[in-house]
Structure 1
Amino acid sequence: MAQTVQVHGYQLWRDRRGRISALRIAALALLLVPVALALQAWWSGQLAPRLLNDLVHRTGYWALLFMLIALAITPLRRSGRFSGLIDVRRLIGVGAFVYASLHIGLYIADEKFDLVKVALEIVKRLYLTIGFIAWLGLLALAITSNDTMVKRLGALRWRQLHQLTYVIAFLSLIHFFQQTKADFTLPATICGLFGWLMVYRLVAWRVREPSMLVLFAMTIGVALLTFFGEAIGIALWYKVSPMTVLSTVFDFDLAIRPGWYVLGAGLAVCLIDLVRSFMQPERKQRSPGAGQPAGGVSLVPRQRA
């Protein structure tokens, strides 16, 4: 059995054996990308006049994106046969919580630290209520995202608690969507990607490692739902026919519709699965009952030596 050594909590670049991890360093660099982009925008004068309001939206967007990246670890790990990815899922999940906390903190600062006003706004405005509930959920996951809490809660209860990841991500999507004024492209794209990740988990309940053909069929289905879902949303908002929106699907000069992004992401996973199946032909299909439940994927899971 691999030996586990004592690693201080601040040494995020080291794995559980105390070795410097290139994968962890890459994950840390990824988590710092939003900071670099914000600094670049500030340096070039591209930040909005209301600086704090701009940063509020930026941090909220990245918190949601990192939640999706954490959820994407499971299909990427299984399709790529790269178990090492599990080592950075906790790091990315906690990073999502940090950005969500900055999101709330900057909102409070934008309201001149008037906590009474902030509390009243959260109570009165539904999208703020939903966002705050999502943050509380992330807080609970972050507090319990360590091996000590796994031992205290027990593996089963800990895993059940971290199933809240899916609910939190869903609430965050609603919070994000409710702030959309007119352009549905980005929210629809994120919803489509989240839908793909959830359908993957539903399929994985029956087959722990879905075949490439199953992944392909799933990708086509979710991409089509994304195309139709966006068309219906725009049609309801602008009071036009959904067919008018769908007629622009292949007009790439006008815009690249969210369904194409979902299709591209899903096909990328299919390609990874296909390549790795040739490299490791001994792959075996296992039912969820053969090991850990296929759906038991959390935002910040326990890591093992």
Structure 2
Amino acid sequence: MVTGTQASSISGYLPWTERNGRFSSLKFIAFAATLAPGLYLVFGLLTNTLGPKPVTIALHETGDWAIRFLFLSLLITPLRRIAAWNRLVNIRRMLGLAAAAYALLHLGLYVVDQAFDLSKIASEIVLRFYLTIGFVALVGLMALGVTSTDGAIRRMGQNWHRLHKLTYGIAILAAFHFFLQSKSDVTEATLMAGFYVALMLYRAAQKRGFNLASPVVLAVIAALAGLATAGIEYLWYALATGIPAERVLAANLDFRYSIRPAWWVFGTGMAFAGLPVLRMISGRFRQVLPRFSSART
């Protein structure tokens, strides 16, 4: 028979509950969001709706989602300061574990795609540079994942913080792997690289004492990150492909066909810059509304 105390302890370990066992809508939404891509791929594999090469599609999708969730986990710290929403920190671990889980699934699907030929897989990882980088990033994510428990944090102390600072290096490896694997179409890889630059600018601004609640500071970061994204895309095409990099750079000013990654990074940064403004307007509205109601009464 389970006592009330035991039930509370068990519920405290559920992904959608707080440490005290109370239901958290934020954690529930985040947990559902981390499961959704995997469930979609499972459904596609079972119903044969992923195309002629379903395993290959699932392989690429799991890798993409591993990087996306990794970058989202890095976004939590600056975003909670920008939005003044400290509860966001409660889902950072979940997002990081999701990144590790999708990366491990990515490797598993690669094994399936290679018909479980482990000797060939090992040689490919050693000989192919982009696979070597991806594997190193995966090992790093696994190390971070197994040390993400409360017990590991207590035992490791300051060493835990030193270890988990490797997340930024792992993100660089993951983004580079994304570029190398994407070959000529590096649109999303460029987007991820641009977001990484923005994350590093937020971190640098905070270390230098800049206020991340300032719309001006955030707008400057958005502009710098957008320009850096265009520069990264130019350098990739100039150094790694035979495609004229000048045309790619000029395409940033041509909106007839698509919006380039630099503009998406800049627009996202400007949306973050608008959050403090919205918070200020909301605060003033809450101050004025009681006075207005009192005056009408």
Give the Cα–Cα distance (whole angstroms) in 2 for the partners of residues 86 and 99 of structure 1.
21
Give the Cα–Cα distance (whole angstroms) in 1 for the partners of residues 12 and 56 of structure 2.
32
For residues 173-252 of structure 1, the aligned pairs below 5 Å read 173-207=175-209, 209-210=211-212, 211-236=214-239, 237-240=241-244, 242=246, 244-252=247-255
Higher relative contact order (CA 8 A, sep 6+): 1
* Conserved 8 A contact 1:78-1:209: no
Is residue 132 of structure 1 aligned with residue 135 of structure 2?
Answer: yes
Q: CA deviation at 1:53?
A: 1.6
Deviations 1:79-137 (A, max 9, x none): 11111111111011101111001001111111122222211111111111111111111
User: Which residue of the partner structure matches residue 298 of structure 1?
Assistant: none
Q: CA deviation at 1:39?
A: 4.9
Gap regions ≥5 residues in structure 1:
282-305
Is residue 276 of structure 1 aligned with residue 279 of structure 2?
Answer: yes
Is residue 81 of structure 1 aligned with residue 105 of structure 2?
Answer: no
Whichever residue aligns with residue 227 of structure 2, its letter is L
2:97 to 94, 97, 101: 94
Question: Using a 3 Å threshold, how does the CA distance of structure 1 residues 84 and 208 change in structure 2: closer, same or farther?
Answer: farther
User: Which residue of the partner structure matches residue 303 of structure 1?
Assistant: none
Question: Using a 3 Å threshold, how does the CA distance of structure 1 residues 10 and 114 change in structure 2: closer, same or farther?
Answer: farther
Pairwise CA RMSD: 2.0
Give the Cα–Cα distance (whole angstroms) in 2 for the partners of residues 241 and 226 of structure 1.
14
TM-score by length of 2: 0.86
Give the Cα–Cα distance (whole angstroms) in 1 for the partners of residues 82 and 124 of structure 2.
44
Give the Cα–Cα distance (whole angstroms) in 1 for the partners of residues 112 and 233 of structure 2.
34
Of 199-208 and 43-52, deviating more is 43-52
Matched residues, percent identical?
39
Whichever residue aligns with residue 54 of structure 1, its letter is I
Give the Cα–Cα distance (whole angstroms) in 2 for the partners of residues 12 and 68 of structure 1.
20
* Conserved 8 A contact 1:13-1:21: yes
Give the Cα–Cα distance (whole angstroms) in 2 for the partners of residues 265 and 65 of structure 1.
15
1:14 to 12, 17, 24: 17
User: Which residue of the partner structure matches residue 302 of structure 1?
Assistant: none
After TM superposition, the runs of 4+ consecutive aligned structure 1 residues lying more than 3 A away are 7-10, 39-46, 277-281
Q: CA deviation at 1:50?
A: 2.2
How many residue pairs get matched?
275
User: Which residue of the partner structure matches residue 290 of structure 1?
Assistant: none
2:163 to 161, 164, 167: 161
Question: Using a 3 Å threshold, how does the CA distance of structure 1 residues 120 and 232 change in structure 2: closer, same or farther?
Answer: closer
1:67 to 48, 54, 70: 70
TM-score by length of 1: 0.84
Of 99-108 and 42-51, deviating more is 42-51
* Conserved 8 A contact 1:56-1:103: yes
Whichever residue aligns with residue 38 of structure 2, its letter is V
Give the Cα–Cα distance (whole angstroms) in 1 for the partners of residues 159 and 145 of structure 2.
15
Question: Using a 3 Å threshold, how does the CA distance of structure 1 residues 148 and 127 change in structure 2: closer, same or farther?
Answer: same
Give the Cα–Cα distance (whole angstroms) in 1 for the partners of residues 11 and 133 of structure 2.
35
Gap regions ≥5 residues in structure 2:
1-7, 285-297
* Conserved 8 A contact 1:14-1:20: yes
User: More helix by proportion, 1 or 2?
Assistant: 2
* Conserved 8 A contact 1:223-1:262: yes
* Conserved 8 A contact 1:73-1:86: yes
Is residue 263 of structure 1 aligned with residue 239 of structure 2?
Answer: no
* Conserved 8 A contact 1:219-1:267: yes
